Structure 1
Amino acid sequence: MGFTRKRTGPQGNRYQALYDDARGVRQTAGTFTTRKEADRAWQRAETRIAEGKAGDPRRARQTFRTYVEERWFPNHRIEASTRQDYAYALAAHVMPYFGDMKLRDITSETVREWITHLKKQGASAYSIKYCKTAILNAIFTTAVNDGILVYHPSRGVKTDPVPEKPRQIITAEQFARIYEALPTPDAKLLVETDIESGLRWGELTELRVKDLDFATGILTVSRAVVQLVPKYHPEGRRFLVNDYPKGKRYRRLKLSPQIVAKLKAHTEARNLAPDDLFFSRRPQPPKLELVDPESLTFEAFNGRTYTHGTITAYNLGKCKCDHCRAAYAAYRAKRRAQGRDNPRNPRVDDDDPHIPASWFRNHCWHPAREAADLGWSPRIHDLRHAHASWLLAGGADLQVVKERLGHRKISTTERYLHTLPSADETALEALNKIRAPQNSPEAAPDLGAQLEEAQAKIAQLQAVLADQLVARHTDERPNLRSV
């Protein structure tokens, strides 16, 4: 049962509202100048407790930074990769503005001013929408649910629209050009498996031999790997395997016989076990064996000639052979011995077999893309888009494509309809079929001939009508002989 306590001080009589929270701990609802106000305060507090909405107004005095870093972020249930993205967005766009503000001082007007501030800083409309919709809304929703805030400051605050740009889809001819330019057979098999299955990168690089039934060609997608900064990994590593794909639903899809045969040959050639990855991390580069390193030169990407085993070859020529690495290591060791360098902690080599996405992009995909000279720069993820577009353009059922891609909503799959350059050809053919007689010069009508033909038809119709009138008049005349 709450009550009001009278307190006398230099400012006169004050009345403190007290109540017991859900745990039986004595709390204060504030201090007021009249007993009536204090009674109402502890009564409201007890009402909130009875409704399950108990809250302490004093908690709204903490700063935004304290609440987010000490309470919200450590206890917010999200994927590790999402937590990493949130951390970067908070540090870049949210904390510099809201960090030192008290929660109770943040209003809808403050949020709108923050959006204007980000626009002036050059933040994209997508970044602003992501920070507001995904992060800020989640923070304030939790604060309201926990009784820290009375109302939601960012709810109803609008951001600039982010237009959905049309997708440019890789055609079969463009894919063939990239495929032929890939450097190794393993890279070609990985890319071909991607275009044949439509898997995401994390699903593709976590694909294991046991996931594919070679007899039926059925592939089960049950896991995905994400690449993280070590401080966001539970074990301080680089790769984290989730026991479910995106969407948290297993899915099964059938691969074509030719790609199944290639994957089977790949498995047998490398003697892979059922738990082994189909595509493991890059092999170590072969060691460069030089009889006389000082006399062997090479031409670097900048057009200049350098000698293996020198500092300039490592720094300027970007050569990372064993001889150039050894020369650079000896140079750095000499400087450290002289006390001239403070090196960072040595990087721990991660023996995880998964393929880093950045390495594959830089060493396989980007060089092949440049060699193909397509006129635009498709991403590896665009192979998934191409898979969906090719299936739909070929007449595949929309629901089947949705299940293969693992989409939750069929509206997501519908975005791939009519994305290929040839998708509107049927519409153009229908349009030309209607307009061709009018647009074709050969089919242009002769107005004079048409007029003569129309006049002849009119004269013929007039003659027929005249004959009918004469015949009718003859039938209606009385028979004089009978009279």
Structure 2
Amino acid sequence: MGFTRKRKGPEGTRYQALYDDARGVRQTAGTFGTRKEADRAWQRAESRIAEGKAGDPRRARQTFRTYVEERWFPNHRIEASTRQDYAYALASHVMPYFADMKLQDITSETVREWITHLKKQGASAYRIKYCKTAILNAIFTTAVNDGVLVYHPSRGVKTDPVPEKPRQIITADQFARIYEALPDATAQLLVETDIESGLRWGELTELRVKDLDFATGILTVSRSVVELVPKFHPEGRRFLVKDYPKGKRWRRFKLSPQIVAKLKAHAEANNLAPEDLFFSRRRAEPPKLELLDPDTLTFEGPNGRTYTHGTTTAYSLGKCKCHHCRAAYAAYRAERRSQGKDNPRKPRIIDDDPHISANWFRTRCWHPARAAADLGWSPRIHDLRHAHASWLLAGGADLQVVKERLGHRKISTTERYLHTLPTADETALEALAKIRATQAGQDAPADLEAQLAEAQAKITQLQAVLADQLIAQHTETRPNLRSV
């Protein structure tokens, strides 16, 4: 039970509101000039405890940086890739403005001023919306739920609209041109599997032999891999395999017989086991070392001078990287380090993870093939997934089936791919041309007259059926009326 304590000081009589928190620890709700105000303060505090919203007003005096870095961010449950994105967005756009402010001093006006500040710095409308909606709202919502704040500063604050641009879909001809320009058969198979299945990059590069039933052609998507900066990886590595795809539910669908046959031939040619990845980064075997006689064998360097193998000058000036020259240079550096003359860098950690890096595939395979195809625009690898959905819907596939294949949560997401191909409006244009031709007094085509006659006959038939149904209903209701 809370109470008010009377206190006397240099400023006169003051009244301190006291109450016990949920742990039974005595807390203060503030000091006031009248007993009535103090009574209201401890009563409000007890009401919040009863509602499960207990909090200490003094916690709102901590800075934004302290709360985010020590309490919110370490304990916020999000995916590792999302945590990485949040960290960079916080460092670039949020912390420079809010870091030293006290939580209790941040208001809706402060948030609006921050949005204006980002716009002046040249941040895009999408980036501002992401920082405000995804990050700032989450921070303040947690602070309110935990009782740190009683007011949500960013709720109701609007950002500039981000227009949804129309999708540009890869056509079959454009895909064929990119496919032919890819560097090797493995890259071609990877890209063809992507457009045949509509998999996301993380699902495609985590696809293993055991996930495809070669007999039935059924593919099971049960995992995904994300590429991270090592400091955001739980084990300090680059690739993190998740035991679920995006959407957190498995899905199964059938692949075409031709792509199943190609994947089976690829697995057999490379002796892939059930646990092996279909597409992986395979290291080339190191070349066999040629034994040389460093005392007698010399060579001419790129600068025109003659050098002897197995010397430091041959390695550094002659640019020779053979086994003997590398060993001589390594021995030279080791001797200097033993004498404390050099401060060597940390040894490079060799990453033996077989997953393919998205950036590597873009720069080595996709971008060169895209440039060679000369499409007039720059499709991404992810646009193959969009093309898969658009091609299926344009070919008459059921909307619900496409939704399940792509793993969308809402069917409205799948509906965005309707009428996205360049030929989608041709039917509408043909109908418009027919109407304009008729209104202009031109003779309607013969097939149009036949269609109109057929439609009129169907309308007459439907009218007759409706009349028979009305008569039957009238007959059925008359006995009921007599009984009433």
| TM exceeding 0.5 | yes
Q: Which residue of 2 aligns with 1:477?
A: none
Question: What pairs up with 1:420-435 in 2 under 5 angstroms?
Answer: 420-435=421-436
Equivalent residue number for residue 397 of structure 1: 398
- Cα 1:251/1:296, change in 2 over 3 Å: farther
Superposed CA offset, 1:385-444 (max 9, x none): 11111111111111111111111111111111111111112222222333347789xx79
- Equivalent AA in structure 2 for residue 102 of structure 1: K
| TM-superposition CA deviations, 1:346-374 (whole Å, max 9, x none) | 33111111111111111111111111111
Percentage identity across paired residues of the two chains = 83
Q: How does 1:92-131 map to 2 (within 5 A)?
A: 92-131=92-131
Secondary structure at the counterpart of residue 31 of structure 1:
strand
**SS of 2:240 mapped into structure 1:** strand
Task: State the Cα RMSD in Å.
Answer: 3.1
Question: Alignment length, in residue pairs?
Answer: 427
In the alignment, structure 2 segments of 5+ residues that lack a partner are 303-313, 445-484
- How far has the Cα of 1:8 moved from its partner? 2.6
Is the partner of 1:16 in helix, strand or coil?
A: strand
Give the counterpart letter for 1:255 in structure 2: L
Whether contact under 8 Å (1:251, 1:403) holds in the other structure is yes
Q: What is aligned with 2:255?
A: 255
- What SS class does the counterpart of residue 271 from structure 2 fall into? coil
Matched position secondary structure for 1:14: strand
Measure how far apart 1:142 and its partner are.
Answer: 0.7
- Give 1:414's aligned amino acid: E
Say which is worse superposed, 82-91 or 162-171, in terms of deviation.
162-171
Taking the aligned partners of 1:181 and 1:322, their CA distance within structure 2 comes to 35
Structure 2 residue identity aligned to 1:219: L
1:332 positional shift: 11
Distance apart, 1:285 and its partner CA: 7.5
Cross-structure match for 2:420: 419
Q: 1:48: Cα distance to partner? A: 1.3
Structure 1 segments of 4+ aligned residues over 4 angstroms from their partners: 285-297, 309-314, 329-344, 436-440
- SS in structure 2 at match of 1:403: helix
Question: What TM-score comes out, normalization by structure 1 length?
Answer: 0.81
Name the CA distance, whole Å, in 1 between partners of 2:213 and 2:76. 39
Instruction: Return the offset for 1:139.
Output: 0.6
Shift, 1:134, TM fit: 0.4
Which residue number corresponds to residue 374 of structure 1? 375
Report the 3-state secondary structure (helix = DSSP H, G, I; strand = E; otherwise coil) of the residue aligned with 1:267. Answer: helix
CA gap 1:444/1:249 in 2 versus in 1, 3 angstroms: closer
Equivalent-residue separation in structure 2 for 1:117 and 1:365 (angstroms): 38
Structure having the higher Rg: 1
Unaligned runs of 5+ in 1: 298-308, 446-483
Change (3 A) 1:294 1:77: farther
Name the residue aligned to 2:202.
202
Distance 1:168 1:295, change over 3 A: farther
**Aligned residue type for 1:256:** S
Matches within 5 A, 1:147-296: 147-284=147-284, 287=287
User: What is residue 11 of structure 1 aligned with on the other side?
Assistant: 11
TM-score (norm 2): 0.81
C-alpha change, 1:343 and 1:427, in structure 2 (3 Å) is: farther
- Distance change in 2, residues 1:266/1:109 (3 Å): same
**1:326-341 paired onto structure 2 within 5 Å:** 333=333
Secondary structure at the aligned position of 1:39 is classed as helix
Q: Any idea what the Cα deviations from partners look like across 1:103-151, whole Å, max 9, x if unmatched? A: 0100000000000000000000000000000000011111111111111
Question: Do the aligned partners of residues 326 and 195 (structure 1) sit closer, same or farther apart at CA in structure 2, a change above 3 Å counting?
Answer: farther
Q: Does the 8 A contact of 2:393 with 2:418 survive in 1?
A: yes
Structure 2 counterpart of 1:126, which letter? Y
User: Is contact 1:16–1:32 with CA below 8 Å preserved after alignment?
Assistant: yes
Contact 1:389/1:420 (8 A) holds in 2: yes
Does 2:424 match 1:410? Answer: no
Cα distance change of structure 1 residues 417 and 326 upon mapping to structure 2, 3 Å threshold: farther
Residue 286 of structure 1 and its aligned partner are, at CA, apart by 6.1
Aligned-partner Cα distance in 1 for 2:197–2:365: 20
Distance 1:333 1:40, change over 3 A: same
Check whether the contact 2:211–2:220 (CA below 8 A) recurs between aligned residues: yes
Q: Alpha-carbon deviation of 1:36?
A: 2.4
Match of 2:365 in 1: 364
- Matches of 2:54 and 2:344 in 1, distance apart? 53
Q: Is the 8 A contact 2:301 2:318 kept in 1?
A: no
Residue 241 (structure 1) shift = 0.7
